[in-house]
Structure formats: structure tokens, C-alpha cells
Amino acid sequence: MRTAMFRLARTPARYTAWARAMTLDAQALIGMVELSGLTGKGGGAFPTHKKMRLMREQAGERKVLVVNGSEHEPGSLKDRRLLAQHPQFVLEGALIMAHAVGATEIVVAINRAASSALQAFRDAIDDAGPELRGLTVQVNEVPDSYIVGEEPALLEVLEGRDALPRKKPPFPIEHGLHGLPTLIQNVETVAHLPLIVGEGAEAYRALGLTLCTLGDEFVHAGVHEVRQELRYTNFCMKLAEAFATAPASKRSRPVVLHRDSWCPTISTCCSTRASWKITARRSAVR
């Protein structure tokens, strides 16, 4: 994975963005997220600042931030890669998010099949120590079942029940985990916050990076960063180029693009929230 987006995680200074966030009030942080243009990276691309503001407005002394790392979309690997290789960055982003929305508890849901991600994130919590500043951070293993990725079903699992959807309303942000106001955010979404706070909203927006997973059909399979303003037509041309240079054994199969958190211009071309396929043969490339 190219790591321009995660360069802060590799610097000697730890939790510098979290320290800066603690000097800012909630409205300033939410305004910074709004200026950055950050949208949800779990598939919906809903403006992150709007959910944060709604959560901030909820009454109650106890509020919960759930970081959804269940990642059950077939072929998607970005969240478990972040949790396994950059757990401190995800944790720092969750702390910043909790501070901004007034959450007193953080619950991180991780697919039980992602053993390296589970261990790495637990180690990051232990290593953080006083950096948690009194916030409760809990890791929950969740079943490797697609329905668990659906927010109300995820809450059911976190409360010890079967993964079944809940009737809405009320919505989780009003009445969520154990009846408390609950904000649910994707792992990648919170992982962007240290860069926004540390570098500034305008610098972050200029980078314009997001993550996607390329299937084994590609020469460079795995999790990659792409520019968010990448247009659909340009993307298809790059896809055709990548496919044309692939070995013959790979060109004989459909190309599978695991959508992960595509930018809005590409998301609008997708008809499903999980993954989509383009069947491309070299002979079809003009």
C-alpha cells in the first residue's frame, strides 16, 4: 500500500493529532471535518460532518462511538489492513471522533476472521495507556457473516443477540447500543481524522485520497490509494491498461473490483453496495 495518507503513523511523534484535537472545541473539529469534505468510507459516502453534528446534538451523559471493522463485503480488505498495519492511526482517529461528538465509550467491532487485526488493535490499546484520557475503548469480535455489516444487525450482535435487523425508527444515533445514542463509523472513515487534524482540512482535501481493493485478477492486487476525483471514464481506461498488461492466465477471467469506499463520481455508477464486476477481455479493449 502506498502510504501518503498514513505518513503520520510512521513518524516518531505519537498521537500528535489527538493532542491538537484536545485543544479544539467540538464545533471547531466538526467544522474542520466539514471543510475537509470527508465522507463515509463504508459505502454510503454520507458527509461525515453531518452525522457528527447529529450525534453531538443528542442528549445524555453517555454516548457510544462504534467503529465498524466487520468488513464483510466479498473481497474487501482495506479495513482489516488498516487495523493490522496502522492500528494506532485508527485508534487516534476514533479518539478524535469521540471527543468531537461527545462520546464517552468507543466500541470497535472487528471480524473474528481477521486475527492479525484483532491482535494488533488490542496491542495498540494497551500501548496507548494514558493517551486514552479516560475514554473507554472496547474491542468486540463479530461473526464473519455479511448481515453483520448492516448497522442495526451489528448492534444486535454487540448486545449478544443474533444478527437481525432492527425496525427503524428509532435510528441508532437516537437509540442505539444498549439504548444509548450511538454513532457508527467505518474504520477507514475514522482513520482519516488524524490527517485532517494534523495537516489541516485544506491540505487533506488537496491530497484527495481514498482506499480501494483490487482483486487477484490485477497485476498489483491488494489495497491501494486512489485519487477521489478520478473520473469513471479515466478509471475504466486505467482498468483496461492494467488488464491488458496482465498475464494471459489472468486475462481469461472477469475482473473483479471490490468497491470498498469509492469516490462519489464512481459510486454513482454502482448499483450495489457490496462489490461489482466488469467483465473485460483484451479483445474488447479498443
Q: What are phi and psi for residue 11, nearest 5 degrees?
A: -90, 155
Q: What is the pLDDT of residues 188-225, one digit of tens each?
A: 999 999 999 998 999 989 888 788 887 777 777 888 77
Q: Which residue in this structure is represented by grid cell 482495506? A: 78
pLDDT over threshold 60, residue 129: yes
Give the mean model confidence (pLDDT) for residues 90-112: 97
User: Which run of H or of E encompasses 226?
Assistant: strand 222-227
Q: Are 83 and 126 in contact (CB under 8 A)?
A: no
Give the mean model confidence (pLDDT) for residues 39-44: 83
pLDDT of residue 272: 30
Q: What sign does the dihedral 198-204-207-212 (CA atoms) show?
A: positive
Same domain, 105 and 226: no
What is the pairing mode between strands 255-258 and 209-214?
Answer: antiparallel
Query: Which amino acid is residue 68, in one-letter code?
Result: N
Total domain count, the chain: 2
Same domain, 162 and 217: no
Q: What is the pLDDT of residues 166-189, one digit of tens each?
A: 888 899 999 999 999 999 999 999
Query: Which amino acid is residue 91, in one-letter code?
Result: L
pLDDT over threshold 50, residue 277: no
Could you tell me if residue 84 is inside a domain? Answer: yes
Could you tell me if residue 2 is inside a domain? Answer: no
Could you tell me if residue 219 is inside a domain? Answer: yes
Domain with residue 160: its CATH number is 3.40.50.11540
Confidence band of 56 (pLDDT split at 50, 70, 90): very high
Same domain, 244 and 146: no
Q: Which three cell numbers mark 142? A: 463479530
The strand pairing partners of 140, in sequence order, are 109
DSSP 171: P
pLDDT of residue 259: 46
Could you tell me if residue 1 is inside a domain? Answer: no
pLDDT of residue 231: 56
**What is the domain range of residue 109?**
7-201
Could you tell me if residue 175 is inside a domain? Answer: yes
pLDDT of residue 158: 97
Q: Which range, 142-146, 166-170, 235-239, has the best average confidence (pLDDT)?
A: 142-146
pLDDT of residue 119: 97
Q: What is the pLDDT of residues 58-80, one digit of tens each?
A: 999 999 999 999 998 778 889 99
Same domain, 240 and 169: no
Could you tell me if residue 235 is inside a domain? Answer: yes
pLDDT, averaged across the chain:
80
Q: What's this model's pTM, rounded to 2 decimal places?
A: 0.80
pLDDT of residue 245: 60
Confidence band of 40 (pLDDT split at 50, 70, 90): confident
Least confident piece of the model among 103-117, 215-229, 265-279: 265-279
Same domain, 28 and 168: yes
Give the mean model confidence (pLDDT) for residues 91-111: 97
Domain final residue pick, 201, 232, 266:
201
